[in-house]
Amino acid sequence: MCLNRRQVLVGSAAALAGSALAGSAMPASAVQASAVPEFAEGRSGVRMRWLGVAGWELTFAGRRVVIDPYLTRLPVFDQAGKFIENHPLRVRTDLVDRHLAEKPELVLVTHGHYDHMLEAPYLVQKHGSRVIGSETHRNLLLAQGVPKANVTLAGGGEHLDFHGFTVQVFRSLHSVFKDYSTFAPGTLTGVPQRPETISDLVEGGTLAYLVDVGGFSVLFLSGAANFVEREVAGLRPDVLVLAMSGHANVFDYTARALRATRPRVVVPSHHDDMVTQLDDPALPPRGNPAAAAELAETAKRLGLATRVLDPEVLRWYEF
Ligand SMILES: [Zn+2]
């Protein structure tokens, strides 16, 4: 779990206000061009789309990888806007069936929280996909009926060959609240009772992934707005998918991420309100525009040529 829309805004606004160049930050309207950005109509053969929250789908050469799918968008805030910590787990299988109808070969899990791992058991059991996660994530998956054989354990440092593409796993970190705490921390060294509420899905460590398709690479620091700088320094991915949930207490977050990895394109992730349903006409086509604006401002301030793609939810892009 990360933060709600208001908290995302606060984090981004604070970062902008803290910048000497806040006044020259690119306005959201400039980032949100109405047409598909030229650089996102490329011919890499790698297509990707944002599934909302921190979910992503990647296809190339008939292969399919999904990361942190969360189409359900549980209504975890009450009328007063208070977070409901014991909200029951329930998957909107209609939405998963509609939008993720084809088998993903791989499901990558960045961490155990409900807004990242809720749908993994359903998806993996339905399609027989392979899922990658930490020991805790594995235990949470097994508790929900995922067969052992479908789970690949990772701790960071792995470079796995799927023959046609590779996946590197990196040790990463979860974002922190204002008081430097996180929601539902914890690790599980054994298989727990079947999780019933969102608090039962503990973080269990956070991972980052680099998917490389014949030299075209996408780095997913997408699950939580924090990372281990030394783990990813020098990677130079074509695309960096960067979590933009609240990061006011993570030192120099966007600048450190862009400077360490120098991507050609950066795409914000985890920057929507997390609760408006995908089939609700009120759902904005894009996430919080402050996220893309902050990334554009940071790239400009650092003198990087990195371009920002502010993605429309469920729209395919090819780089
Ligand atoms: Zn989380």
Q: What is the pLDDT of residues 77-111, one digit of tens each?
A: 999 999 999 999 999 999 999 999 999 999 999 99
* CA-CA-CA-CA dihedral for 6, 9, 14, 16, to nearest 10: -170
Q: What is the pLDDT of residues 119-166, one digit of tens each?
A: 999 999 999 999 999 999 999 999 999 999 999 999 999 999 999 999
Residues 63 and 105 sit within 8 Å (Cβ to Cβ): yes
Whether the per-residue pLDDT at 37 is higher than 90: the answer is no
> How many domains in the chain?
1
Lowest mean pLDDT among 2-6, 87-91, 215-219: 2-6
The predicted model gives 231-250 an average pLDDT of 97
Residues 56 and 108 sit within 8 Å (Cβ to Cβ): no
Q: How far is the CA of 207 from the centre of ligand 1 (A)?
A: 11
Residues with CB under 5 A from ligand 1 (ion): 1-2, 113
Q: Tell me the longest C-alpha to C-alpha distance in the chain.
A: 54
- Range of the structural domain that residue 312 is part of: 5-318
Residues 176 and 34 sit within 8 Å (Cβ to Cβ): no
Q: How far is the CA of 100 from the centre of ligand 1 (A)?
A: 22
CA terminus-to-terminus distance, the chain: 29
Q: How far is the CA of 115 from the centre of ligand 1 (A)?
A: 7
d(CA 248, CA 245): 9
pLDDT tier at 14 (50, 70, 90 boundaries)?
very low
Q: How far is the CA of 206 from the centre of ligand 1 (A)?
A: 8
Q: How far is the CA of 304 from the centre of ligand 1 (A)?
A: 29
Look up residue 44 and give its DSSP letter. S
Residues 132 and 104 sit within 8 Å (Cβ to Cβ): no
> Encoding tokens for residue 310?
């502010």
209 Cβ contact partners less than 8 Å away, ≥ 6 residues apart: 67, 108, 110, 132, 167, 168, 169, 170, 219, 220
Q: What is the CATH number of the domain that holds 174?
A: 3.60.15.10
Q: What is the pLDDT of residues 173-190, one digit of tens each?
A: 999 998 999 999 999 999
Give which of 180, 187, 181 is closest to 155, Cα–Cα. 187
Q: Phi first, then psi: what are they for 44, rounded to 5°?
A: -65, -20
